[in-house]
Structure 1
Amino acid sequence: MPDDLPLSEASELTAPEVTAAVGFRSVLARIEAGEREFPLPGSGHTGRRFAALQAVAEADLCTARLVEGHVDALAILAELGEPPPGPGERWGVWAAEPPGEGLTALRKDPAGQGGDGWVISGLKQFCSGAHSCTHALVTARAGDERRLFAVRVDGDDCRPVDGTWRAVGMAGSDTPDVRFTDVPARAVGDPEAYVRRPGFWHGGIGVAACWYGGAVAVSRVLREAAGRRAEPHTDAHLGAVDIQLQAAGALLDRAAAEIDADPLDIRGGAQLRAMRVRAFVESACAAVLDHVGRATGAGPLCHDAQHARTAADLAVYIRQHHAERDLAALGALLARPEDTR
C-alpha cells in the first residue's frame, strides 16, 4: 500500500491500482533524487526521454501511464512558462474530451475563491491516477473557449466516481471519471494554447514510446519459447516480431532526433510526424500481440500472470490511437496540396 494513501482511499483500490501507485511514487522519488531523468522534449535529449518511458513501460504499463502523465505535465508547464511542480507532488494530464458533461470553468473573485480567480465544476472522464495524483492539468470550457487549468485534485471537492473504471486491461492505471465541485483552478496559458503548442505533438510520441515498451515486454515469452527448442513456426513468428520492433524503435529514434532539430516546429512537421509515428507504433504493437499469441498459444496467457496482464494492458493502451479515425485524419493531412513533407 502506498505509504501516504489514506486508508479510506486505499480500500477503494484494486491490487493492480495499488501496485501501479507504488511504482508511480517510486519512479518520482528517483526523479527527485536525481537517479532517473526524463529530459524535456526538444531539449537535445529527447531520445533519452523516450528510452526512459520505454523502460518504465517494459516493467509495468500501468505505472508507465501514470509516469508519462506526470512528465508530460512537467513539459507542458515548462513550455507554457509555468513553475515546475513542487517536491512530493504527483501530476496527471486529464485532457480527454469524449461526449458527455465535461468541465466548466467560471471566473471568480480571486480574493474570495483563490486559484487565480477560476473555479471548475463538472465531470471529467478518463482521469488516470485519480486516487494517487495530487495535482492535474485539466481542460475545461470557459464560455466558448477551451482552456487548460492547473488544479489540486486530492481534496473533497474533486472525487473519483465509484464504478466508472471497470477495466481488465490497464486496470492499474486507476482511470475513473472524477466529479469536480467548485475546484479552485489556475489558468495555464491562453485559450487553446494546450493544443496549439508544438509540445502537444511531441508528447503524443512519448505515449507511443510507452506502447513500444509494452510490446517489447510482450515479446519476451516468444523469445523464451524460441530459445527453448528449435521450431520453424515459432522462429518465423519471432522473426516477424523482431522486424516490427526494430522498425518501431528506429522510427522513435528518428522522431526524437527530428524533435531536437526543430523543437519549436518552425518547419511545421510536428503534427504529421506524431500521427505517423503513433499509427505505425500502434500497428507494430498489434502485430506483436498477434504473433506472440499465435506462436505461444493459450499457455502464457493462462499461466503467466505478468505476461497475461501486460498483453491485456497493451491491448487497451494502444486504443489511445483511434484506429481508422486517426488514419483518416493522417490521410486528410497528407492530401493537402501544400503538405509535401
Structure 2
Amino acid sequence: MTRLLACFLSISLPVYASQSIQVETVASDLDFPWSLAFLPEGGYLVTERTGSLVSFSAAGELLSRHSVALPKIFVAAQGGLLDIKLAKDFSQSGRLFLSYSCGNIHANSTCLASAQWAAGELTAIRPIFHAKPDRQGAAHYGGRIALLPDNSLLLTLGDGFDFREQAQNKASHIGKIVRLTEDGAAPTDNPFVEQPGVAAEIFTLGHRNVQGIFYDEVTNKIYSHEHGPKGGDELNLLEAGKNYGWPVATYGVDYTGARISPFTEFAGMQAPLHVWTPSIAPAGMTLYRGELFPKWHGNIFVSALAGKALHRLVLENDKVVTEEVLLKELGSRIRDVRTGPDGAIYLLTDGANGQLLRLTP
C-alpha cells in the first residue's frame, strides 16, 4: 500500500493557442490505471487493469487498495479490470458498476458487475451481464460505461481483434455497444428487441474497439470513439439502431498494410464525425461542461495512448472544426480523461507507474 504516493506536485506547460495549463500530480505509482470516478464527499476511486480498486482522499492521500473479487476476472494483455461508473443514486445507495474481462485465454469476453461501496469497502459484487459469444485471445474488450437519463446504461464491446466480421452479426454482442438496465437486462425499447435472431441488448453495431463514450446532458447526444487498425480511429455520434461500418467501411488498413475494405463509407452505415490517421489510439473521453476553462465549454477531449497527448476537439453542427493537441510535452500514454466536479480536467497515464493528474488554468 505504501507503494502508492500522493504528491500534488505541479508544473506549468507552454501557453497553447487556447489556454495555459498547470498540471498537478495527485497520485503516482498506479499499476496500469484504467478509469476514474469522483466520490460525492470528495476523493477518487481508480481502477487498475491488473485487478485492484484504489481509493484516495480529496487531498490525494491513499486510503485503500483492494484486489477486486470479480468472478472469473481475466487479467492478460488488454484484459482485466476496466471501467468504473457510480450509479446516479450512489450518494444514497453506494451502488457502482465495474466492467472487466472474464474467462480464460481460450474463452473470454467483456463482463459487467454491480457492487456496493461503503466505509472504504467494496461488497455485494454481482455479475449482471456477460457479452456473448466468448472468444479467444486477450484484446479489444471495449469496456467503457455511460449512464443515460432513464437509468439505463451503455456498455461498449470490442471485436476481439480476430473476430471483426462479427461486428456486423446482429446475433452476436461482438463489436457492439449494448444498452442495459441497471440489472443487466435488455430494456424493452431497445432498437432490435422485437427482432427474432437478434441480440436484444444491441444499441449500435459495426464497432472495432470502443474505449471512449460520453453522454452530454445538455444536448442529449452520445459520442463515442474507437480504435482503428493502422489508422482510421473514429469519433462517432451515436444513434440507436445505427450501423457504424466496421469492417465494411474503414479509413484504416491492416497492420500488414493489406486493405481491409475498399470502402471508407457505405450506404446505410454512419460515417464518422472525425478520423485520425495515423492512429492516435484513443482511450478516454469527456465533453467539458466545467467553469475553470470557459473557452473550452462544450469541447470534446480525447486521451491518446500511441499519440501520447490530449486532443481537444471543437464541434460546430456536429462537425469537428478545430483540433488542438495538448500535453505532448509529458511524453505519456494517457489512458483516461474526466471532467471533475471542481471543473478541473483529470487524466490517468498508462503503465506500471501510472499517475493521476489534475489540469487547471
Shared fold (TM-score greater than 0.5)? no
TM-score norm. by structure 1 comes to 0.23
The answer to which structure has the higher helix fraction is 1
TM-score norm. by structure 2 comes to 0.22
Higher relative contact order (CA 8 A, sep 6+): 1
Larger Rg: 1
